[in-house]
Every structure is written in structure tokens, then in C-alpha cells.
Structure 1
Amino acid sequence: MFGLANPQRFMSFTRPLVPVLWVVAVALLLVGIWLSFTAPGDYQQGDTVRIMFVHVPASSLGLMAYSALGISSFFALVFRHPLADAAARAAALPGAAFTLLALVTGSLWGQPMWGTWWVWDARLTSVLVLFLFYLGYMALRSAIDDEARAARAAAILGLVGLINLPIVKFSVDWWNTLHQPASLLREGGTALAPVFLAPLLTMMAAYGALFLAVWLTSIRTEIVRRRVQSIRARMALEA
């Protein structure tokens, strides 16, 4: 793993891996969508239960992407490694997209279940804060012209945002909230019937493969951008 911290080795290793991830992500998405639409309606929620197959994976990937951003920020800040900084930067946009999708689908699911589009309970509020951390990270990087200073400032913000991850995860256990507790991973096993578990796990695997495909593609693009920028700077000095 640490050998891949070398940009050249990383580019060589991921060159054949990225197309495979894209193919796997598309295939799993197609299977997951088919399973989601062929699953029966819930006896209480009816067809609105299908939102779960989009909402739950999006929520999980929002947390996973920020974990990748935060850990990469740590290595970038402590070890000053440019590849770690590229990884953190590349995780921000897809992570924000997954978190926004979780917020939107959560509102669509909450309206028929709770009778309202939004409540300021612990889970929804902490996920909104997570989304704002993503936006703040991207805005901070864009606001500072000096890339080195922007990377350091954004890395610090990325590390601070890690504090919010356990709050999002355990908010339904720590506070009284409308949001239902965990159904998939909990003591005593899952509460989901197999007919709902299969499409949910398939969609979670699809989202995971999609994130990895987007993330690695973005890191590769960032490495190429920095190489081109370095070549241009060297040519300008020589001229």
C-alpha cells in the first residue's frame, strides 16, 4: 500500500484497474436497479420502501468518502505527500454528491413516513453538517490561490470534519430522534427481510465500486494536471 504512494507506481497500478471498476459499477447498478424494482412493497411503507435502496447506500458512501478525505488529509498534512493531497481533493466532489443524494432521498422518504420533508433531529442535522464540511473543503481550496497553502488549510478542515463522522453514525443511539435506528448492522443480526436485503447489498456494492472508480479516475486526473502544471512552470522559467 505504501509503495503505491509513489505517483508513478500508482498510475501504473490503477491504469488497468479503473476500467474494471467502471464495468463492475455499471453491472452492479443495473442488477441492483432490477432487484429494487422487482422487490415487493413493504406491508407498512408500501412502494416508498424502494427509496431505501438509494438512500442507505448514498448515506454510507457519504461517510466512507469523508473518511477517505480525512485520512488522506492526515497523510498530506503530516507527511506532506502530494499524492495524499490529490486523494483528499478527489474524494470531496463525489462525497458531496453522495451526501446530497442522501439528504434529498431522505426528505422524499420522510415526507410520506413522518408527514414532513425535514426535521432538525440529530441524524438529519449531522448529515447536513457533513455536507457543509464537503462544501467548505472545496470552497477553501478554491479561495486560496497558493496551492500549497490551500492544501494545508483544507487538510486541517478535513481533519476537523472527522469529528462529525461518529456523530452521524451513532446519533440515532445517543439522542431521541425520528430517524429509525440501524437495521442492517446491529446486535442480533439484520432486521431486513432477505427480499429487501439482496437489492440493498447489491446497491451498496454498486455505490462502493462507483465511488472507487470516480475517486481513482479523479486522482489520476489530478496527477496529470499537476505534471502538466509543473512542466509549464519549468518551461516558463527556461524561457
Structure 2
Amino acid sequence: MWGLIHKLGSPKWFYQLSARLQPWCWGAAILLLVTGSVWGLFFAPADYQQGNSFRIIYVHVPAAFLAQSVFVTMAVAGLVYMVWKIKVADMAAAAMAPLGAAMTFVALFSGAVWGVPTWGTWWMWDARLTSMLILLFLYIGVIALRGAFGRRDSGARAASVLAMVGVINIPIIKYSVDWWYTLHQPASFTLTARPSMPLEMWLPLLIMVLGFYCFFIALTLMRTRSEILRREAKARWVQALIEEAR
């Protein structure tokens, strides 16, 4: 286990491993997203109450799941960087932050669009919506902190601390519909309970969730590889890659 962690902490080894993983992740992401989109948008039955407007769930739910998962992953990466000083963990966290912010915005925007036919309004200061908005501000704060310091290490430490502290917002988002009275519906499906939707509705949703996660992994690998090349530009192995490219 520690040997694997040590290898993952090597920018060169991670760069080489990610080169092999990236095509598989992109392929899986494209296959899953195309399958889930076509199935959910054109073949899944309409909801008996919301009609076809419910189909935005195939974007809203995966984006919301991913937005929360990315922040937790950032917090773990920040902890690894702070405790073990593994540079690749900070590089990955830096690569994830804009993606997580984008997914949070997509979740908020799609939820607002969904709210018009469902609630009759674009926005309510609902506990779930408000905590998701706070998550977006946390992402923006993490991104801003990285550029607010003259030294990269100082910005990385500050961003890591904010991510580790801000992760307390994730269980608030998840359990807000249980702790407070909210307009937001409970989770569409969980790992511990039978889905409330019929199979032909929740199966394409599951495929879309998996597709979003594969897309995130592929894009994170790509962005982390670019970050490694940028930070390790003076390393011999990077110089060798540049010479080979020429």
C-alpha cells in the first residue's frame, strides 16, 4: 500500500500511468454519456406528475453528485499534501477545483430550470439549494486562494486548509432534506435502498452518473498531466520529453 502511494507521489510515474489510463477513461465516458443521454431523453417514460420536464434529472443529479464528490476528493488530496508533502496530490487538487466549480454551477442552474415547472420559481432559499450555493463559493475560494499568494506553496496550503474545513458542508448538503423542511425532493436513489423510480427511468440515470464520473477522471488526468509538465519543466525527464517531441 505504502509502495503504491510512494509511486503515485512521483510526478514522472503518475504522468506515465495516467497516459495509459486516460484513453480508457475517455472511451468509457463517451460510451456511457451517449448511452445514458439517448436512453434518458428519448426512451425513458415520462414522469406521471412532472411529464417530460423530469428529464433534466439526467444532468442535474450526476452534476450534483460529482460536485460533492470532487470537493471531498480535494479535501483528501489536501490532507495528503499537508501531511506527506506529496506534490502530485496538490497538482491533482488544483486540476480538480475548476471542474468541481463547473459541476456545482451546472447543478444549480439545472436545478433552477427544473424548479420553474416544479415549484413555480427559479430559486428558493431552500436548505439544499443554499448549501449547494455555499459549495460553489467554497470552490471559488479555493481557486482564489491558490493565486492570492506570492509563493505557490503558501497558496497550496491555504487552499488545502479551506478544502479540509469546507468539507463539513458536504454532509449538510446530503442530509439537509432530512434535517429541515425543504422543497427539494429526497435522493432519487441510494446504495442502501431500493430506487423509488421504475427500472427504465433510474437505470439510464445510473449510467449518466457513471459517465460523469468517468468524464471527471479523464479530464482530471489530462489537467494533472499538464500541471505536472508546467511545475516540473526543469526536470530532466520533462526536458527529455520536450526533445522527443521536437
Residue 21 (str. 1) matches residue 21 (str. 2): no
Give 1:131-210 correspondences, 5 Å limit.
131-185=136-190, 188-210=193-215
Letter in 1 for 2:173: V
Q: C-alpha separation between the residues in 2 aligned to 1:186 and 1:21?
A: 23
Aligned partner of 2:135 in structure 1 is 130
Q: Where does 1:218-233 land on structure 2 (aligned, <5 Å)?
A: 218-228=223-233
- 1:213-233 per-residue CA deviation (whole Å, 9 max, x = no partner) reads 0111111111110011668xx
Deviation at 1:187, TM superposition (A): 5.5
Q: How far, CA to CA, are the matches of 2:55 and 2:114 in structure 1?
A: 9
Distance 1:187 1:175 in 2: 21
**Structure 2 counterpart of 1:60:** 65
Deviations 1:83-121 (A, max 9, x none): 111111111011111111000000011111011111111
Q: Secondary structure at the match of 2:46?
A: coil
Q: What's the offset of the Cα at 1:5?
A: 2.0
| CA distance, structure 2, for counterparts of residue 135 and residue 188 of structure 1 | 34
Deviates more, 1:62-71 or 1:34-43: 34-43
**Match in the other structure for 1:79:** 84
Tell me the TM-score normalized by structure 2: 0.90
Distance (Å, rounded) in 2 between the aligned partners of 1:174 and 1:103:
21
Question: Which AA in structure 2 matches 1:217?
Answer: M
What residue identity is the alignment partner of 2:13?
Answer: R
Matched, 1:120 2:95: no
Deviation of the 1:32 alpha carbon: 1.0
| Structure 1 residue 40 corresponds to structure 2 residue 45 | yes
Amino acid at match of 2:23: P
One-letter amino acid matched to 1:115 = G
Counterpart of 1:106 in structure 2 is 111
**Structure 2 vs 1, CA of residues 170 and 81 (structure 1 numbering), >3 Å: closer, same or farther?**
same
Q: Distance in 1 between matches of 2:63 and 2:167?
A: 18
TM-superposed CA distance for 1:183, in Å, is 2.5
Q: What per-residue deviation string (whole Å, max 9, x for no partner) do you get for residues 34-56 of structure 1?
A: 10122121110000010001000
Q: How many equivalent residue pairs?
A: 231
Kept in 1: contact 2:8–2:88 (CA 8 A): no
4+ runs of 1 displaced by more than 2 Å?
Answer: none
What is the TM-score when the length of structure 1 is the normalising length? 0.93
**AA of the residue aligned to 2:34:** L
Query: What code does the residue aligned with 1:221 have?
Result: S
8 Å contact from structure 1 (residues 55, 102) kept in 2 = yes
Asked if structure 1 preserves the Cα contact closer than 8 Å seen for 2:115 and 2:121, the reply is: yes
Match of residue 74 from structure 2: 69
**Contact preservation (8 Å) 2:97, 2:139:** yes
The answer for the alignment partner of 1:9 in structure 2 is 13
AA aligned to 1:206 is G
On the 8 A contact 2:78/2:160 being kept in 1, the answer is yes
- 1:205-216 equivalences in 2 (<5 Å): 205-216=210-221
State the Cα distance separating 1:145 from its structure 2 match: 2.2
Q: Tell me the CA shift for residue 11 of structure 1.
A: 1.4
Q: 1:187 to 1:147 in 2, by over 3 A?
A: closer
